[in-house]
Amino acid sequence: MPFPALFVSHGAPSAALEDDAYTRALGAWARGRPRPRAIVVVSAHGEAQGPPRVSSAAHPDLIFDFYGFPPPLYQLKYPAPGAPDLSREIAKALDAAGAEPVLDGVRGWDHGVWVPLLLLYPDADVPVIQLSLPVPRSPSSMLAMGAALAPFRDRGVLLLGTGGVVHNLRRLGDGDGALPWAAAFDEWIAARLETLDVEALQGYATAAPHADLAVPTTEHLDPIFFVLGSRGPRDRAVGVYEGFRYGSLSLRSFALATP
């Protein structure tokens, strides 16, 4: 049975310091199954011009790509190893799919990688590889990346996308309730995930309500297509968490899993 694939809406970096329903849900999901052999992550904060870059360092550094948060956040560590041999296999699979990947032994992991992983696998004992979000890209190209790496799920590798179904920092509200337009978009996505209507999801920009507000730029939603591209014929979307922060940040997270 293939290892599940996972999409995590990662919210603010401060989630790494919090204990709430969202952080507990991610931890419970990870504890509810065997540990993966390795994790391959596409993060909203890992954009790079050109073809996909595959991290290949044995021990990548952490990138603290945010400011204005409590000092303890900047002291956190996530010393998981890289997996250079597997990185080369990942690159070979992407190359066979025409993506022309580049191995990157320099760049570290941004907070879209290490914050969710602290919540999922706090022992930092699973090797991690980050794939960049290529620029330019489209939902179809992200689906193709996921499809190229789908066979690795059969080898116990977790394919992970992190970002956010709704992510608009210019329209933040108060509290944890969703603003009406944000809720409408989030619910539209959820309904199509329930049936894995990937064709409809690709057309969200013109078909979904308030897409211009929910997805003012695409980097937080695009990793969802990487995950969906890896789907198998028996996969179903299984909810991991749903909720909002600050009105316009959806924390909807789900796994693709075979019953």
For residue 30, the enclosing domain spans 5-257
User: Tokens 């690159």 correspond to what residue?
Assistant: 91
| C-alpha Rg value of the chain to the nearest Å | 17
pTM of the model: 0.96
C-alpha–C-alpha distance, residues 144 and 228, integer Å = 10
Contact 161, 116 (CB under 8 A): no
Token digits for 250? 């959806």
Return the pLDDT at 219. Answer: 97
pLDDT band of 174, cuts 50, 70, 90 = confident
Task: Give the CATH number for residue 48.
Answer: 3.40.830.10
What average pLDDT score do residues 61-68 get? 94
Number of domains in the chain: 1
- Please determine, for residue 175, whether its predicted confidence score (pLDDT) is greater than 80: no
C-alpha–C-alpha distance, residues 43 and 31, integer Å = 22
- Please determine, for residue 232, whether its predicted confidence score (pLDDT) is greater than 90: yes
C-alpha–C-alpha distance, residues 188 and 142, integer Å = 20
- Please determine, for residue 245, whether its predicted confidence score (pLDDT) is greater than 80: yes
How high is the mean pLDDT of the chain? 96
pLDDT band of 11, cuts 50, 70, 90 = confident
